[in-house]
Structure 1
Amino acid sequence: MFKNALYGLVLLGGIGASGLLTAAYRAPARLPLHRTETVPVQEDTSKKIQLIQAKSVVNLQTDTLSERRFVGDVIFKQGTSLLSCDSASFNANTNIIEAWGHVHINQDDSVHTYSDQLLYRGNQRLATLTGNAKLTDTKIVLTSPTLNYDLNTKIGTYDQGGKLVNGESVLTSREGIYYGETKDVYFKKEVVVVDPGFTLGTDTLMYNSVTKIATIMAPTTINDGKMTMYVTSGYYNTDLGYGNFAQRPTIEDSTNTFTANEIQTDKATGISIATGNMIWRDTAQKVAVLANYGIVNQNVKTVLATQKPVMLLEGKDDTLFVAGDTLFSGVIPFLKDSATLAEDSARIARGDTSNTNKSDTADKRFLIAYHHVKIYSDSLQGVADSVYYSSVDSIFRLYRNPVLWASNNQLTGDTIFLFTKNQKADKLLLDQNALIVNSPGPDMYNQIKGNTILGYFGDEKLDSMYVNGNAENIYYVQDDDSAFISINRLLSANTRVYFENGELERIVFVKEPEATMYPFTQMPEEQKLLPGFKWEIHRKPKSKYELIGQ
């Protein structure tokens, strides 16, 4: 018996499993010379399965079955692929192998598969791996309860849940397709990526194990610990932390959120470039920026906006709009004062560390707008070449030909300081060559001029003003029926001006003024305008939509 088994092994090793079938072949009788010989069909050797080794073999031969069962350190070879297992059965008629125990397929030393069981269709070179199925190449390890692998195309699929490990990245999904030639893996349903630097969740994802680039194919959430990205299209380099997203992605952190038609973001620098209809918001300070192009640095909390940028400062009842050629906003660290620091030190000395993890700073935001700046709110409008605003003192500083309009009053000066509370005008300072103008009628102008003018607001309307230094006044006097009766021109050191509902109500002179009264029709034309007079109503923003659609 032992000799017969040994002889069978030698024969199998020498001529292969299919060789046994051809050993009994007998040449046909010679045909007449005048007949055409039939040329045998060439055998496809790439499909031929050869047994390399096995400790024992059992042959099963019937009219319909030609099967051999091999046990112990079994190894088969097909082309350049090797299949090893603990035991296997081979059907020569169908060219199918069933294998059990420590099943391993080595394809060209490039792709390896492992499983507890295997059904291998040799003619199609299709492998169905069951039980602890695993596929590895030079980059990844893919595991699943069941895995189908095509040795022709090097494509593997699973539909009962799978996990891919690539370095420190772990990707899981309900379904997946592995492409060995391109090193792409297509994940479908319940896709989760866990990496030391981020987590990702989606329904569909394409991932390349060489470049470590994840191609976004469905609504996806990426969280890198500092910011969260909500994206639907584009790609994310999981190794570098660089993403390029389209179709209105949104990025947010603890205080800021922004969206645009397209966003490029780099985790290493904290810089994101937003293109097309960008909307950026500082949710903590209620500040928003609209623009067609923006650069956001989330590390230092800055935003630079160009291409029709508009900033919105949200108040309780009103919103202030600021537009310009370029807007830039950043934060000013606000350090604790000495008294607070001393209190913290005393608390720590007592052993109370309950607040030691809190930040030592509270950020305050500033704004710089320059070139063709426009300001609009329901109660106040303005223009300037450049504007600086800081939430530390809540002051707008307007430079180079600045103009403000409050109700029907035009306010100008070399520099204008607008003090606000809760995004509402509280007071203002017209510094040098200060001038207030309103128009009671066509080509008629009430004017108040001084070195500086300090004004106060009440209910978001001008309430009173103090004119300091060389105060000059021209105003039109009307009777109770609003008919014009005279024009007064006065000169005084200081003047107080009072308004009612935003309209000029009365003027009080601190010292006796030099006054000249002209009948309404008799004032010389050259006396009707103060030196430095300018009426720039054409520059006044008419609505917030003018700023947004500038």
Structure 2
Amino acid sequence: MITVIGDQLYGRMENGESVREVVGNVVLTQGNVRITCSRAIQYLARNNAHLIGNVVITQDSLTILTDEGFYFGNEKRAYSDRGVKLDDKKVILTAGIGEYLFTPQQANFSRDVKLTDTLSVLTSARLTYFREIDKAIAVEQVNIIDTSGNIIKADSLINLRKEQITYAFYNVRVRNLRDNSLIMGEHLEDYREKGYSLVDVNPVFMQVDTVKNESDTIKAGVKDRKETDSLLQIDTLVIRSLVMESYRTDTSNQFIAKDSVRILRGGFASHNDYTIYYKDKETIVTNKVNDSAAVPVIWYDNSQMTGDSITIRLSDRRIDRVFINNNAFMISKSEINPRRYDQLTGKRVIMNFADNQLNKTEVYGNVLGIYFMYEEEEQNGLMKASSREAIIFFEERKVSQVNLYGDPNSEYHPENVVEGNEKSYTLPGFTLYEGRPTMENLFTKKIGKVF
């Protein structure tokens, strides 16, 4: 039963019910629940009280503040729709509407909910907070800003404060303010203490290099395709896969994409089964996952490259060098005749870039090459060549010079023999892959072979 004391007490009957009104320095108690306010109207039979003016509810370390509310003694429940603040020394929770159940220690808040602790600030339309187990369930317009520089948005979210674990569902957006990256998906698991995150439903990673203007800047929570398109139109790294993982430590920050991985950045694209992005080292590594698996494929401008392992080194988020190891194969389509492909194979290929353009390619080990010849853009047969090493120089996206080293050998095939027979001039392992990631097909098409 609620007990009430105050400066003034008035008794009356309302609709056959005994009502007690207490005014001035009002104190209500029930067990270890204590309530103070300016004025209280107590309904004796129902064991309820209407609390008015400077309401303060306490229980041990818990404090609830509101201008006006209700306390239901039989249920040990407090309610207010006049703005509520809850402080339990672990979190501060505010909202337009709040309900607190003392026995299960559960808060149900709605309308402009805000939960603040030492690690983050969470806002949502509705939130349930379980004090005993330090668990919060947020629904609708969920937004978390944490001290590590991350912003998480989602339709709904479960946060286990004690374990520092977060689960987010549907329309999930994770923005990192430090490196201007954005991860989108439909399901997120984040284990803060372990430094591990997982997105395993429709994950997409995006990282902007340069921003053209304010309207192009990544906003926390891309909500529609129009905004996504505006991000893709500037110099942005985009990675799509079936599963994405992130590992964070004091000394490293690595991002892993698994299964049907597609990468796009300007004129550079890739399709592979496994990619590791070392953010701190600005290095992307793609690997053939086993002997029977498909090789990683990368495209740059009019060239296609394959190999068992491909490493991409960035400098200031721009491609600096590409290393292709084991069974390296490079194919470049002619701009003059699309049926003709320059080809180059070797054990290892190193591609060097300057000002975001390929300027030199180095090939090491069992070099084989086929180069179609031109004189003032007139087709002039082809050259087959072999050596231990080779260096190819590029100017204005075209081969300008080829140097062969170590037992060089070459043979010329005239135009009248080559014309119409281009497909017969291919090196062992020649394969053209379709499904190159682009802005248009990044979210739909799969990899396959042309021939």
2:249 maps to which residue? 332
2:19 maps to which residue? 126
Letter in 1 for 2:159: T
Percent of residue pairs bearing the same amino acid type: 19
TM-score of the superposition, structure 1-length normalised? 0.71
Give the root-mean-square deviation of aligned CA atoms. Answer: 2.0
1:445 maps to which residue? 341
Letter in 2 for 1:223: T
Q: Which has the higher contact order (CA 8 A, sep 6+)?
A: 2
> Residue 514 of structure 1 is aligned with which of 378, 403, 409?
409
Q: Closer, same or farther in 2 for the Cα pair 1:200/1:466, shift >3 Å?
A: same
> Aligned-pair distance for 1:234?
3.0
> Residue 475 of structure 1 is aligned with which of 363, 366, 371?
371
Q: Is the 8 A contact 1:277 1:291 kept in 2?
A: yes
Query: How do residues 375-524 of structure 1 correspond to structure 2 at under 5 angstroms?
Result: 375-400=263-288, 401-440=295-334, 441-480=337-376, 482-511=377-406, 513-523=408-418
> Aligned-pair distance for 1:134?
1.7
Give the number of the structure whose residues are more often helix, by fraction. 1
> Aligned-pair distance for 1:547?
3.8
Q: Closer, same or farther in 2 for the Cα pair 1:548/1:518, shift >3 Å?
A: closer
Question: Hey, which bits of structure 1, 4+ residues long, moved more than 6 A?
Answer: none
Q: Deviations over 1:25-76 (max 9, x none)?
A: xxxxxxxxxxxxxxxxxxxxxxxxxxxxxxxxxxxxxxxxxxxxxxxxxxxx
Q: Closer, same or farther in 2 for the Cα pair 1:525/1:485, shift >3 Å?
A: closer
Q: Is the 8 A contact 1:310 1:547 kept in 2?
A: no
2:2 maps to which residue? 111
Gapped runs of 5+ residues in structure 2?
Answer: 212-234, 289-294, 447-451
Query: How do residues 80-229 of structure 1 correspond to structure 2 at under 5 angstroms?
Result: 110-122=1-13, 123-229=16-122
Per mean C-alpha deviation after superposition, the further-off stretch among 141-150 and 198-207 is 198-207
Letter in 2 for 1:438: S
Q: Give the secondary-structure state (helix, strand or coil) at the position aligned to 2:442.
A: helix
Q: Is the 8 A contact 1:367 1:388 kept in 2?
A: yes
Q: Is the 8 A contact 2:38 2:52 kept in 1?
A: no
Letter in 2 for 1:134: V
> Aligned-pair distance for 1:314?
3.0
> Aligned-pair distance for 1:124?
2.6
Per mean C-alpha deviation after superposition, the further-off stretch among 116-125 and 467-476 is 116-125
Q: Closer, same or farther in 2 for the Cα pair 1:409/1:182, shift >3 Å?
A: same
> Aligned-pair distance for 1:128?
0.8
Query: How do residues 44-55 of structure 1 correspond to structure 2 at under 5 angstroms?
Result: none
Q: Give the secondary-structure state (helix, strand or coil) at the position aligned to 1:159.
A: strand
> Aligned-pair distance for 1:115?
1.4
Q: Give the secondary-structure state (helix, strand or coil) at the position aligned to 1:225.
A: coil
> Aligned-pair distance for 1:284?
2.1
Give the number of the structure whose residues are more often strand, by fraction. 2
Does the alignment pair 1:304 with 2:179? no
Query: How do residues 269-284 of structure 1 correspond to structure 2 at under 5 angstroms?
Result: 269-284=163-178
Q: Give the secondary-structure state (helix, strand or coil) at the position aligned to 1:541.
A: coil
> Aligned-pair distance for 1:151?
1.4
Gapped runs of 5+ residues in structure 1?
Answer: 1-109, 335-363
Query: How do residues 528-547 of structure 1 correspond to structure 2 at under 5 angstroms?
Result: 528-536=425-433, 538-543=434-439, 546-547=442-443
> Aligned-pair distance for 1:168?
0.7
Letter in 1 for 2:127: G
Q: In structure 2, how many angstroms separate the alpha carbons of the residues matched to 1:546 and 1:237?
A: 42
Q: Is the 8 A contact 1:274 1:293 kept in 2?
A: yes
Task: Work out the number of aligned pairs and report it.
Answer: 410
Q: In structure 2, how many angstroms separate the alpha carbons of the residues matched to 1:305 and 1:409?
A: 32
Q: Give the secondary-structure state (helix, strand or coil) at the position aligned to 1:530.
A: coil
Letter in 2 for 1:208: L
Q: In structure 1, how many angstroms separate the alpha carbons of the residues matched to 2:411 and 2:166?
A: 64
Q: Closer, same or farther in 2 for the Cα pair 1:526/1:310, shift >3 Å?
A: closer
Q: Deviations over 1:115-167 (max 9, x none)?
A: 12111114431111111112222342111010111113222112322010022
